[in-house]
């Protein structure tokens, strides 16, 4: 190594075109080499991925990093390789779930699958007959009842956590967080033990109650965040004008936080719509359509999937995939709605902030 003065390069401009080509090469060559190794030696793909691709990629990236930044570049390269590798891994898993759902579930999709019930369906009946109509109705009823009960409760909780001056707020927030980790099977057992103690019959209503502790923390937390986003000056201004707290809330804060609260409700519904264990413990299932939540059997989508999943017969397994796809579509609709809402909220929030600062 000579001590000749280095050319006056700009250190921040080291990622130039030449470097870009090197980075590109470092990303492509290991993939090609790994593919070649698999083709030539017939090595197992998983072994090749971990034993050939990852080391090669590390070496290639480190070499480029070393050429660009010296020794400091090596650590950077390793960090980037691992981060991208792990993140891609999660992405691949997610893609695999969605892809297999869509490809397997598509076999079952037809208009009849959405509208018919399974009254005359046996394990081997072909997919042209029967469907998830009764399960969709049951899910909407059970989840709807939970929503009607939980939403006022959760939002009132969020109001308490944001508007009052009470000292127990910290404890209640921690407790709510702790409830959010309540195992779903325990929620089911809780309602089951109430039912046994009070000698109630299993019904859709019990299922709704079992979903309540699972939905409540989500709504309370998201609604609290939404209320917190409203500038506190707005509330103080309303109070200074002589409004009592409740009018300040209903006339000033509520309109400003409306879309956030709707998001809270949608996320709460998305959280419980796929819950399976509590419903299996508390709701008896059937194959016919039922509109009665308070007595008798009622089918729900998660229970439908659960019911056909364990079957050894291919048509029943396909029913499970179909039911899961319908469930996923419902979740995706809820999820998409929250995204659209949050986008429109961020567009609207700018003018209100300006107004508030004026």
Residues 203 to 232: which contact other proteins by CB under 8 A? Answer: 213, 216
How far is the C-alpha of 273 from the C-alpha of 262, rounded, in Å?
16
- 24 near other proteins, judged by CB under 8 A: no
Residues 111 to 150: which contact other proteins by CB under 8 A? Answer: none
Q: Which one of 107, 311, 317, 352 is in contact with other proteins (CB under 8 A)?
A: 317
**By C-beta, is 242 or 358 nearer to other proteins?**
242
CA distances from 62 to 24, 26, 69, 81, 114 (A): 13, 9, 10, 9, 54
- 258 near other proteins, judged by CB under 8 A: no
- In the complex, least distance from residue 206 CB atom to other proteins, rounded to whole angstroms: 13
- In the complex, least distance from residue 277 CB atom to other proteins, rounded to whole angstroms: 4
- In the complex, least distance from residue 75 CB atom to other proteins, rounded to whole angstroms: 3
The alpha carbon dihedral of 17, 18, 22, 23 has a sign of: negative
Query: b vs e for 309-322, b when ≥16 Cβ sit within 10 Å of the residue's Cβ?
Result: eeeeeebbebbbbb
Q: How many positions of this chain bind other proteins (CB under 8 A)?
A: 92
- 22 near other proteins, judged by CB under 8 A: no
Q: Which one of 30, 302, 315, 319 is in contact with other proteins (CB under 8 A)?
A: 302
- 329 near other proteins, judged by CB under 8 A: no
Q: Which one of 249, 263, 285, 315 is in contact with other proteins (CB under 8 A)?
A: 249
Of residues 50, 24, 53, the one with CA closest to residue 37: 53
- In the complex, least distance from residue 358 CB atom to other proteins, rounded to whole angstroms: 26
**By C-beta, is 31 or 93 nearer to other proteins?**
93
How far is the C-alpha of 273 from the C-alpha of 143, rounded, in Å?
7
Question: What are 139's two structure tokens?
Answer: 């899910």
Residues 38 to 97: which contact other proteins by CB under 8 A? Answer: 44, 46-47, 69, 72-73, 75-76, 78-80, 82-87, 89-91, 93-94, 96-97
**By C-beta, is 54 or 78 nearer to other proteins?**
78
Cα angle 194, 195, 199 (rounded to 5 degrees) comes to 120
Task: Print the binding letters for residues 265-294 with other proteins: x by CB under 8 A, - otherwise.
Answer: -----xx-xxxxx--xx-------------
Residues 158 to 197: which contact other proteins by CB under 8 A? Answer: 159-161, 163-166, 168-169, 172-186, 189-190, 192-194, 196-197
């Amino acid at each position: 190594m000579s001590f000749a003065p280095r050319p006056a390069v700009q250190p921040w401009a080291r990622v130039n075109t030449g470097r870009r080509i090197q980075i590109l090469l470092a990303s492509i060559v290991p993939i090609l080499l790994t593919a070649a190794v698999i083709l030539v030696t017939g090595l197992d793909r998983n072994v090749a991925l971990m034993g050939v691709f990852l080391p090669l990629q590390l070496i290639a990236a480190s070499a480029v990093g070393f050429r660009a930044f010296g020794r400091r570049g090596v650590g950077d390269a390793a960090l980037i390789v691992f981060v991208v590798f792990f993140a891609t891994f999660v992405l691949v898993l997610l893609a695999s779930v969605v892809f297999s759902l869509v490809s397997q579930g598509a076999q079952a999709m037809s208009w009849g699958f959405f509208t018919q019930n399974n009254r005359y369906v046996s394990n081997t009946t072909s997919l042209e007959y029967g469907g998830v109509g009764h399960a969709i109705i049951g899910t909407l009823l059970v989840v709807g009842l939970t929503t009607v009960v939980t939403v006022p409760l959760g939002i009132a909780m969020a109001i308490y956590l944001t508007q009052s001056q009470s000292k127990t707020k910290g404890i209640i927030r921690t407790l709510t967080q702790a409830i959010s980790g309540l195992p779903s099977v325990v929620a089911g057992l809780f309602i089951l033990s109430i039912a046994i103690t009070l000698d109630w019959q299993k019904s859709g209503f019990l299922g709704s109650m079992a979903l309540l502790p699972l939905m409540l923390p989500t709504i309370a937390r998201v609604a609290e965040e939404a209320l917190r986003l409203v500038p506190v000056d707005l509330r103080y201004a309303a109070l200074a004008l002589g409004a009592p707290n409740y009018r300040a809330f209903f006339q000033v804060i509520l309109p400003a936080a409306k879309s956030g609260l709707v998001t809270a409700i949608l996320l709460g519904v998305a959280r419980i719509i796929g819950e399976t264990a509590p419903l299996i413990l508390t709701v008896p299932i059937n194959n016919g359509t039922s509109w009665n939540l308070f007595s008798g059997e009622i089918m729900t989508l998660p229970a439908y999937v659960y019911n056909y999943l364990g079957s050894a017969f291919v048509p029943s397994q396909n029913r499970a995939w179909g039911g899961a796809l319908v469930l996923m579509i419902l979740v995706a609709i809820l999820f998409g709605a929250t995204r659209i809402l949050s986008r429109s909220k961020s567009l609207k929030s700018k003018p209100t902030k300006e107004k508030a600062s004026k």
